Amino acid sequence: MKRWAGPLAALLATAAAAHALTLHFAPAVIMDRAMAALAARGIALHAFTTPQRVTPQAQSVVRSSPDLYYALCRYDLGDPAARLAVRMGVWPDYQSLAFFDARTDNFATLRGTGRQIAVRLLPPGSAPEAGAIVSPSAQGVILIRRLAPTAERFAAAAEAGKADACKLE
């Protein structure tokens, strides 16, 4: 019995370590793959990509809602001096500007029903500034949602989206 104690301890330690490491890295790996998939589907870096309406034939992210307009912007603030200017145009219904880091955290969301919102996104480690948000990771995704449950409303949301901006200063 005693001679199995060492291998048994090794088994338990290895299992615990593999379990914890898998959970720790899974979100970042999945986000990384999602970012690559978004890039492959034409989602631009530092620009909002005009979306197609979500249908079974056009869905790039799991559990997208067919009732919402989604505009995505990928960002990379690897340069510590980078500043990303983000603007969400006016939309009379519900709309929000949401920021997701490389570990899938929704680290900021700004609701902008009936009004425009403009904000700057700064690289990790930046000093806080008025009108700016510091990203916890160099890379991530910005997502505008607009309530647009019909084809007509979606077309109007896309028109409103012409005022959206996501660009390096």
Partner 1 sequence: MKRAGAYLAAVVLGLALGLGSALWLAGLWPARSNMAFGDIDVGGWRSDFAIGSKAADPYVRARVARHGLLALAKTEAVYFTRAADDTGAPLREGCSYRLSGGQMPAGWWSVTLYNAASMLPANTDGALSIDAERAGGGAWSAVIAPERPAGEGLWISSRGADTFDLTLRLYMPDVALLADPNTALTPPVIKRLSCGEGGA
Q: Which positions lie near partner 1, rule CB under 8 A?
A: 3-4, 6-8, 10-24, 26-27, 30-31, 34, 54-57, 59, 61-67, 94, 96, 98, 100, 103-107, 109, 111, 141, 143, 145, 147, 149
What contacts 23, CB < 8 A, 6 or more positions away? none
> Of 22 and 50, which CB lies nearer to partner 1 in the complex structure?
22
Nearer to partner 1, 75 or 100 (CB): 100
Structure tokens given for 71: 């505009």
Minimum distance, C-beta of residue 97 to partner 1, in the bound complex (Å): 10
Of 164, 37, 49, 150, residue with least CA distance to 96: 164
CB closer to partner 1, 2 vs 81? 2
- Distance of closest approach, residue 77 Cβ to partner 1, in angstroms: 18
**With respect to partner 1, which residue has the nearer C-beta, 99 or 160?**
99
From the CB of residue 7, how many other CB atoms can be counted at a distance below 10 Å?
A: 9
- Nearest distance in Å: CB 81, partner 1: 27
Of 19, 3, 165, residue with least CA distance to 85 = 165
Residue 158 burial (CB count, 10 A): 17
Report the residue number, 3 or 81, with the smaller CB distance to partner 1: 3
CA dihedral 91, 48, 69, 58 (to 10 degrees): 160
Beta-ladder partners of 87: 118, 165
Minimum distance between the CB of residue 63 and partner 1, rounded to whole angstroms?
Answer: 5
**Which residue reads 């890039």 in tokens?**
39
The least distance separating partner 1 from the CB of residue 117, rounded to whole angstroms, comes to 14
